[in-house]
Amino acid sequence: MFSIIDRYIIRKFLSTFFFMLAIIMMFSIVFDVSEKLGDFIDNKAPLSEIIFDYYLNFIILYGNMFTSMIVFISVIWFTTKMAKDTEIIPIWFSGKPISRYLRPYFISATILMLFSLFINHFIVPNANTERLEFEEKYYRDVMIVEDYHAEYPENQSVYFSNFNNRDKRINDFTFQQWGENNKPKYFIKSRYALNAPGSHNWTLRDVYVKDFNDDYIDIRHLKSLDTTFNFTISEMSHRESAASSMSFNELRSFIKREKEKGSSMVPMYEIELHQRTSYPFAAYILTLIGVSVASQKRRGGVGVNIAIGLGIVFVYIFAMKMLTVATLNLGFPAVISVWIPNVFFALTAIVLFKKSQK
Protein backbone atom coordinates (compact mmCIF):
# COMPACT_ATOMS: atom_id res chain seq x y z
CA MET A 1 0.00 0.00 0.00
CA PHE A 2 1.14 3.52 -0.79
CA SER A 3 1.12 6.09 1.98
CA ILE A 4 0.04 9.70 1.49
CA ILE A 5 3.70 10.72 1.23
CA ASP A 6 4.34 8.02 -1.39
CA ARG A 7 1.47 9.20 -3.56
CA TYR A 8 2.49 12.83 -3.07
CA ILE A 9 6.10 12.25 -4.17
CA ILE A 10 5.14 9.97 -7.09
CA ARG A 11 2.63 12.54 -8.32
CA LYS A 12 5.19 15.32 -7.97
CA PHE A 13 7.88 13.23 -9.71
CA LEU A 14 5.81 12.18 -12.72
CA SER A 15 4.00 15.49 -13.22
CA THR A 16 7.30 17.42 -13.06
CA PHE A 17 8.93 14.95 -15.46
CA PHE A 18 6.24 15.23 -18.12
CA PHE A 19 6.08 19.00 -17.71
CA MET A 20 9.87 19.26 -18.18
CA LEU A 21 9.71 16.85 -21.11
CA ALA A 22 7.03 18.95 -22.82
CA ILE A 23 8.99 22.18 -22.30
CA ILE A 24 12.29 20.73 -23.56
CA MET A 25 10.66 19.10 -26.59
CA MET A 26 8.84 22.32 -27.44
CA PHE A 27 12.08 24.30 -27.46
CA SER A 28 13.85 21.52 -29.40
CA ILE A 29 11.17 21.56 -32.10
CA VAL A 30 11.30 25.36 -32.34
CA PHE A 31 15.09 25.31 -32.87
CA ASP A 32 14.83 22.40 -35.32
CA VAL A 33 12.10 24.12 -37.35
CA SER A 34 14.12 27.33 -37.55
CA GLU A 35 17.08 25.35 -38.92
CA LYS A 36 15.25 23.14 -41.42
CA LEU A 37 12.20 25.13 -42.50
CA GLY A 38 13.95 26.48 -45.59
CA ASP A 39 14.85 22.97 -46.75
CA PHE A 40 11.30 21.74 -46.14
CA ILE A 41 9.90 24.59 -48.23
CA ASP A 42 12.47 24.17 -51.01
CA ASN A 43 11.78 20.43 -51.23
CA LYS A 44 7.99 20.95 -50.95
CA ALA A 45 7.53 18.68 -47.96
CA PRO A 46 3.79 18.25 -47.17
CA LEU A 47 2.69 19.64 -43.81
CA SER A 48 1.13 16.31 -42.78
CA GLU A 49 4.43 14.48 -43.38
CA ILE A 50 6.38 17.17 -41.51
CA ILE A 51 4.12 16.75 -38.48
CA PHE A 52 3.45 13.01 -38.42
CA ASP A 53 6.43 11.44 -40.22
CA TYR A 54 9.10 13.77 -38.88
CA TYR A 55 8.23 15.70 -35.72
CA LEU A 56 6.12 13.03 -34.07
CA ASN A 57 9.03 10.62 -34.47
CA PHE A 58 11.46 13.42 -33.51
CA ILE A 59 9.67 13.69 -30.15
CA ILE A 60 9.74 9.91 -29.63
CA LEU A 61 13.47 9.71 -30.42
CA TYR A 62 14.83 12.70 -28.53
CA GLY A 63 12.27 12.62 -25.72
CA ASN A 64 13.31 9.06 -24.97
CA MET A 65 17.02 9.79 -25.51
CA PHE A 66 17.01 12.48 -22.82
CA THR A 67 14.65 10.69 -20.42
CA SER A 68 17.34 10.03 -17.81
CA MET A 69 18.58 13.61 -17.90
CA ILE A 70 15.04 14.98 -17.64
CA VAL A 71 14.42 12.60 -14.72
CA PHE A 72 17.47 14.10 -13.02
CA ILE A 73 16.40 17.71 -13.54
CA SER A 74 12.84 16.88 -12.45
CA VAL A 75 14.01 15.25 -9.21
CA ILE A 76 16.24 18.21 -8.37
CA TRP A 77 13.49 20.70 -9.20
CA PHE A 78 10.65 19.34 -7.06
CA THR A 79 12.86 17.94 -4.27
CA THR A 80 14.60 21.29 -3.84
CA LYS A 81 11.19 22.94 -3.57
CA MET A 82 10.18 20.37 -0.94
CA ALA A 83 13.39 21.08 0.99
CA LYS A 84 12.80 24.82 0.72
CA ASP A 85 9.25 24.40 2.08
CA THR A 86 10.62 22.26 4.95
CA GLU A 87 8.67 19.21 3.77
CA ILE A 88 11.65 16.83 3.83
CA ILE A 89 12.81 17.32 7.42
CA PRO A 90 9.66 15.72 8.97
CA ILE A 91 10.04 12.76 6.59
CA TRP A 92 13.69 12.20 7.47
CA PHE A 93 13.02 12.46 11.21
CA SER A 94 9.81 10.42 11.22
CA GLY A 95 11.61 7.47 12.79
CA LYS A 96 11.44 5.31 9.68
CA PRO A 97 14.57 4.15 7.83
CA ILE A 98 15.99 6.72 5.41
CA SER A 99 15.75 4.11 2.67
CA ARG A 100 11.95 4.26 3.09
CA TYR A 101 12.10 7.87 1.91
CA LEU A 102 13.55 6.67 -1.40
CA ARG A 103 10.76 4.20 -2.17
CA PRO A 104 8.41 6.58 -4.05
CA TYR A 105 11.38 8.00 -5.97
CA PHE A 106 12.46 4.56 -7.16
CA ILE A 107 8.89 3.51 -7.95
CA SER A 108 8.61 6.55 -10.22
CA ALA A 109 12.07 5.91 -11.70
CA THR A 110 11.09 2.29 -12.39
CA ILE A 111 7.95 3.36 -14.24
CA LEU A 112 9.97 5.74 -16.41
CA MET A 113 12.83 3.25 -16.85
CA LEU A 114 10.52 0.46 -18.08
CA PHE A 115 8.71 2.92 -20.32
CA SER A 116 12.02 4.10 -21.80
CA LEU A 117 13.32 0.53 -22.15
CA PHE A 118 10.20 -0.51 -24.07
CA ILE A 119 10.36 2.52 -26.34
CA ASN A 120 14.10 2.05 -26.96
CA HIS A 121 13.76 -1.53 -28.14
CA PHE A 122 10.35 -1.58 -29.83
CA ILE A 123 9.15 1.92 -30.75
CA VAL A 124 12.27 3.98 -31.55
CA PRO A 125 13.54 1.73 -34.42
CA ASN A 126 10.24 2.11 -36.32
CA ALA A 127 10.06 5.81 -35.50
CA ASN A 128 13.62 6.28 -36.74
CA THR A 129 12.84 4.43 -39.96
CA GLU A 130 10.06 6.89 -40.78
CA ARG A 131 12.11 9.90 -39.68
CA LEU A 132 15.17 8.91 -41.72
CA GLU A 133 13.04 8.18 -44.80
CA PHE A 134 11.57 11.68 -44.47
CA GLU A 135 15.04 13.22 -44.11
CA GLU A 136 16.34 11.33 -47.13
CA LYS A 137 13.42 12.63 -49.16
CA TYR A 138 13.19 16.24 -48.02
CA TYR A 139 16.29 17.22 -46.08
CA ARG A 140 19.39 15.03 -46.33
CA ASP A 141 22.33 15.84 -48.56
CA VAL A 142 23.30 13.28 -51.18
CA MET A 143 25.06 10.36 -49.53
CA ILE A 144 28.42 9.53 -51.11
CA VAL A 145 30.51 6.42 -50.44
CA GLU A 146 34.12 6.41 -51.64
CA ASP A 147 36.85 3.74 -51.81
CA TYR A 148 34.68 1.01 -50.39
CA HIS A 149 36.33 -2.32 -49.62
CA ALA A 150 34.93 -5.24 -47.63
CA GLU A 151 35.32 -8.97 -47.16
CA TYR A 152 32.23 -11.17 -47.40
CA PRO A 153 31.55 -14.82 -46.49
CA GLU A 154 32.70 -17.56 -48.88
CA ASN A 155 36.04 -15.79 -49.47
CA GLN A 156 34.53 -12.92 -51.41
CA SER A 157 35.91 -9.42 -51.69
CA VAL A 158 34.20 -6.29 -53.03
CA TYR A 159 35.61 -2.91 -53.99
CA PHE A 160 34.24 0.17 -55.75
CA SER A 161 35.61 3.68 -56.13
CA ASN A 162 32.45 5.68 -55.42
CA PHE A 163 28.66 5.64 -55.16
CA ASN A 164 25.98 8.24 -54.47
CA ASN A 165 22.36 7.56 -53.62
CA ARG A 166 21.01 10.07 -56.13
CA ASP A 167 21.78 8.16 -59.35
CA LYS A 168 22.32 4.75 -57.62
CA ARG A 169 25.38 4.14 -59.76
CA ILE A 170 28.44 2.25 -58.48
CA ASN A 171 31.63 3.16 -60.30
CA ASP A 172 34.67 0.90 -60.82
CA PHE A 173 33.04 -2.13 -59.29
CA THR A 174 35.36 -5.09 -58.58
CA PHE A 175 34.39 -8.51 -57.24
CA GLN A 176 36.84 -11.32 -56.37
CA GLN A 177 36.41 -14.82 -55.00
CA TRP A 178 39.03 -17.28 -53.79
CA GLY A 179 38.85 -21.05 -53.55
CA GLU A 180 40.86 -23.48 -51.45
CA ASN A 181 44.35 -22.44 -50.36
CA ASN A 182 43.53 -18.86 -51.34
CA LYS A 183 43.69 -19.68 -55.04
CA PRO A 184 41.83 -17.17 -57.24
CA LYS A 185 38.51 -18.56 -58.45
CA TYR A 186 36.55 -15.72 -60.01
CA PHE A 187 37.21 -12.09 -60.85
CA ILE A 188 34.88 -9.39 -62.21
CA LYS A 189 35.63 -5.78 -62.95
CA SER A 190 33.08 -3.39 -64.47
CA ARG A 191 33.08 0.28 -65.32
CA TYR A 192 29.88 0.72 -63.34
CA ALA A 193 27.18 -1.40 -61.73
CA LEU A 194 23.52 -1.07 -60.73
CA ASN A 195 21.72 -3.00 -58.01
CA ALA A 196 17.97 -3.50 -58.37
CA PRO A 197 16.36 -1.94 -55.25
CA GLY A 198 15.50 -4.45 -52.55
CA SER A 199 17.05 -7.43 -54.35
CA HIS A 200 20.32 -9.26 -54.96
CA ASN A 201 20.06 -8.73 -58.73
CA TRP A 202 22.87 -6.73 -60.30
CA THR A 203 23.51 -5.30 -63.77
CA LEU A 204 27.14 -4.68 -64.69
CA ARG A 205 28.27 -2.57 -67.66
CA ASP A 206 31.52 -2.79 -69.63
CA VAL A 207 32.54 -5.96 -67.82
CA TYR A 208 35.89 -7.75 -67.66
CA VAL A 209 35.57 -11.36 -66.34
CA LYS A 210 38.21 -13.91 -65.34
CA ASP A 211 37.13 -17.47 -64.54
CA PHE A 212 40.00 -19.48 -63.04
CA ASN A 213 39.86 -23.20 -63.87
CA ASP A 214 42.35 -25.95 -63.00
CA ASP A 215 44.11 -25.93 -66.38
CA TYR A 216 43.26 -22.59 -67.90
CA ILE A 217 41.85 -19.08 -67.30
CA ASP A 218 38.72 -18.07 -69.18
CA ILE A 219 38.85 -14.32 -69.94
CA ARG A 220 35.84 -12.47 -71.31
CA HIS A 221 34.82 -8.92 -72.05
CA LEU A 222 31.06 -8.20 -72.02
CA LYS A 223 29.09 -5.03 -72.69
CA SER A 224 26.56 -6.04 -70.05
CA LEU A 225 26.15 -8.79 -67.48
CA ASP A 226 23.10 -9.59 -65.33
CA THR A 227 24.02 -11.57 -62.24
CA THR A 228 23.32 -12.02 -58.53
CA PHE A 229 25.49 -11.51 -55.47
CA ASN A 230 24.82 -12.33 -51.81
CA PHE A 231 25.05 -8.64 -50.90
CA THR A 232 23.19 -5.46 -51.82
CA ILE A 233 24.18 -1.83 -52.19
CA SER A 234 22.04 -0.96 -49.16
CA GLU A 235 24.50 -2.97 -47.02
CA MET A 236 27.40 -0.95 -48.36
CA SER A 237 25.92 2.52 -48.42
CA HIS A 238 24.15 3.14 -45.14
CA ARG A 239 24.57 6.21 -42.96
CA GLU A 240 25.95 5.89 -39.43
CA SER A 241 22.45 6.62 -38.11
CA ALA A 242 20.99 3.64 -39.98
CA ALA A 243 21.64 1.34 -36.99
CA SER A 244 19.18 3.36 -34.91
CA SER A 245 16.35 2.25 -37.21
CA MET A 246 16.97 -1.46 -36.64
CA SER A 247 15.24 -3.62 -34.08
CA PHE A 248 17.30 -5.44 -31.45
CA ASN A 249 17.50 -8.69 -33.44
CA GLU A 250 18.09 -6.89 -36.73
CA LEU A 251 20.94 -4.91 -35.19
CA ARG A 252 22.56 -8.03 -33.75
CA SER A 253 22.39 -9.77 -37.14
CA PHE A 254 23.71 -6.63 -38.81
CA ILE A 255 26.66 -6.44 -36.40
CA LYS A 256 27.47 -10.09 -37.02
CA ARG A 257 27.51 -9.52 -40.77
CA GLU A 258 29.59 -6.36 -40.45
CA LYS A 259 32.13 -8.28 -38.37
CA GLU A 260 32.40 -10.87 -41.13
CA LYS A 261 33.06 -8.05 -43.58
CA GLY A 262 35.71 -6.54 -41.32
CA SER A 263 33.85 -3.23 -41.11
CA SER A 264 35.48 -0.51 -39.03
CA MET A 265 32.02 0.68 -37.93
CA VAL A 266 31.30 -2.40 -35.79
CA PRO A 267 32.21 -0.67 -32.46
CA MET A 268 29.79 2.17 -33.24
CA TYR A 269 26.98 -0.30 -33.90
CA GLU A 270 27.80 -2.24 -30.72
CA ILE A 271 27.64 0.99 -28.72
CA GLU A 272 24.19 1.67 -30.21
CA LEU A 273 23.09 -1.84 -29.22
CA HIS A 274 24.22 -1.62 -25.58
CA GLN A 275 23.15 1.99 -25.04
CA ARG A 276 19.53 1.01 -25.66
CA THR A 277 19.62 -0.78 -22.30
CA SER A 278 22.20 1.22 -20.33
CA TYR A 279 20.58 4.64 -20.85
CA PRO A 280 17.20 3.72 -19.29
CA PHE A 281 18.94 2.21 -16.24
CA ALA A 282 20.73 5.51 -15.68
CA ALA A 283 17.36 6.84 -14.42
CA TYR A 284 17.93 5.02 -11.10
CA ILE A 285 21.41 6.47 -10.67
CA LEU A 286 20.46 10.02 -11.57
CA THR A 287 17.40 9.82 -9.35
CA LEU A 288 19.53 8.92 -6.33
CA ILE A 289 22.05 11.66 -7.15
CA GLY A 290 19.22 14.15 -7.60
CA VAL A 291 17.70 13.27 -4.23
CA SER A 292 21.09 13.50 -2.53
CA VAL A 293 21.85 16.93 -3.98
CA ALA A 294 18.39 18.46 -3.65
CA SER A 295 17.38 17.17 -0.19
CA GLN A 296 19.73 19.61 1.49
CA LYS A 297 18.49 23.13 1.98
CA ARG A 298 21.01 25.57 0.50
CA ARG A 299 21.29 29.30 0.01
CA GLY A 300 20.26 30.08 -3.51
CA GLY A 301 17.57 27.38 -3.53
CA VAL A 302 16.71 25.69 -6.82
CA GLY A 303 19.33 27.57 -8.83
CA VAL A 304 22.28 26.26 -6.80
CA ASN A 305 21.02 22.68 -6.80
CA ILE A 306 20.37 22.74 -10.54
CA ALA A 307 23.86 24.17 -11.12
CA ILE A 308 25.39 21.35 -9.04
CA GLY A 309 23.22 18.80 -10.82
CA LEU A 310 24.11 20.06 -14.27
CA GLY A 311 27.79 19.87 -13.31
CA ILE A 312 27.36 16.20 -12.42
CA VAL A 313 25.45 15.55 -15.66
CA PHE A 314 28.23 17.23 -17.62
CA VAL A 315 30.83 14.92 -16.05
CA TYR A 316 28.56 11.92 -16.74
CA ILE A 317 28.16 12.83 -20.42
CA PHE A 318 31.87 13.60 -20.73
CA ALA A 319 32.73 10.16 -19.30
CA MET A 320 30.41 8.47 -21.79
CA LYS A 321 31.95 10.36 -24.71
CA MET A 322 35.51 9.60 -23.58
CA LEU A 323 34.77 5.89 -23.33
CA THR A 324 33.02 5.94 -26.71
CA VAL A 325 36.18 7.41 -28.23
CA ALA A 326 38.22 4.72 -26.45
CA THR A 327 35.99 2.05 -27.99
CA LEU A 328 36.25 3.49 -31.50
CA ASN A 329 39.96 4.24 -31.48
CA LEU A 330 41.56 1.90 -28.94
CA GLY A 331 39.47 -1.24 -29.30
CA PHE A 332 37.94 -0.95 -25.83
CA PRO A 333 34.98 -3.41 -25.49
CA ALA A 334 31.72 -1.59 -26.23
CA VAL A 335 29.69 -3.28 -23.50
CA ILE A 336 32.23 -2.18 -20.85
CA SER A 337 32.57 1.38 -22.14
CA VAL A 338 28.78 1.80 -22.13
CA TRP A 339 28.23 0.44 -18.61
CA ILE A 340 31.30 1.85 -16.80
CA PRO A 341 29.77 5.36 -16.39
CA ASN A 342 26.67 3.79 -14.82
CA VAL A 343 28.75 1.72 -12.40
CA PHE A 344 31.00 4.64 -11.45
CA PHE A 345 28.14 7.09 -10.95
CA ALA A 346 26.12 4.49 -9.04
CA LEU A 347 28.95 4.38 -6.49
CA THR A 348 29.09 8.18 -6.53
CA ALA A 349 25.33 8.33 -5.93
CA ILE A 350 25.62 6.06 -2.87
CA VAL A 351 28.41 8.21 -1.41
CA LEU A 352 26.43 11.42 -2.00
CA PHE A 353 23.32 9.99 -0.41
CA LYS A 354 25.20 8.90 2.71
CA LYS A 355 26.73 12.37 3.02
CA SER A 356 23.33 14.02 2.56
CA GLN A 357 22.05 12.23 5.69
CA LYS A 358 24.61 13.94 7.94
Q: Residue 348: pLDDT band by 50, 70, 90 thresholds?
A: confident
Q: Is the pLDDT of residue 21 over 80?
A: yes
- The predicted pLDDT at position 243 comes to 77
Contact status, residue 144 vs residue 71, Cβ threshold 8 Å: no
How confident is the model over 163-192, as a mean pLDDT? Answer: 86
pLDDT in tens, 51-94: 999 999 999 988 988 888 889 889 888 888 887 777 776 766 66
- The predicted pLDDT at position 181 comes to 76
Whole-number average pLDDT of the chain: 83
Domain ranges of the chain: 4-139+265-356, 144-238
Q: Is the pLDDT of residue 16 over 80?
A: yes
- The predicted pLDDT at position 26 comes to 93
Residues 6+ apart with CB under 8 A from 288: 102, 105, 346, 349, 350, 352, 353
Q: Is the pLDDT of residue 136 over 70?
A: yes
Q: Is the pLDDT of residue 15 over 80?
A: yes
% of the chain at pLDDT higher than 90: 21
% of the chain at pLDDT higher than 70: 91
Residues 6+ apart with CB under 8 A from 357: 92, 98
Buried b (16+ CB within 10 A) or exposed e, 136-152: eebebeeeebeebebeb
pTM for this entry: 0.76
Q: Is the pLDDT of residue 6 over 80?
A: yes
Closest to 356 (Cα-Cα) out of 105, 114, 71: 105
Higher pLDDT: 277 or 95? It is 277
- Which of 13-17, 90-94, 233-237, 341-345 is predicted with the least confidence, judged by mean pLDDT? 90-94
- The predicted pLDDT at position 266 comes to 82
Q: Is the pLDDT of residue 122 over 80?
A: yes
Higher pLDDT: 144 or 269? It is 269
Burial of 193 (0-12, 13-18, 19+ CB in 10 A): buried
- The predicted pLDDT at position 301 comes to 60
How confident is the model over 331-355, as a mean pLDDT? Answer: 85
Higher pLDDT: 309 or 232? It is 232
How confident is the model over 287-311, as a mean pLDDT? Answer: 74
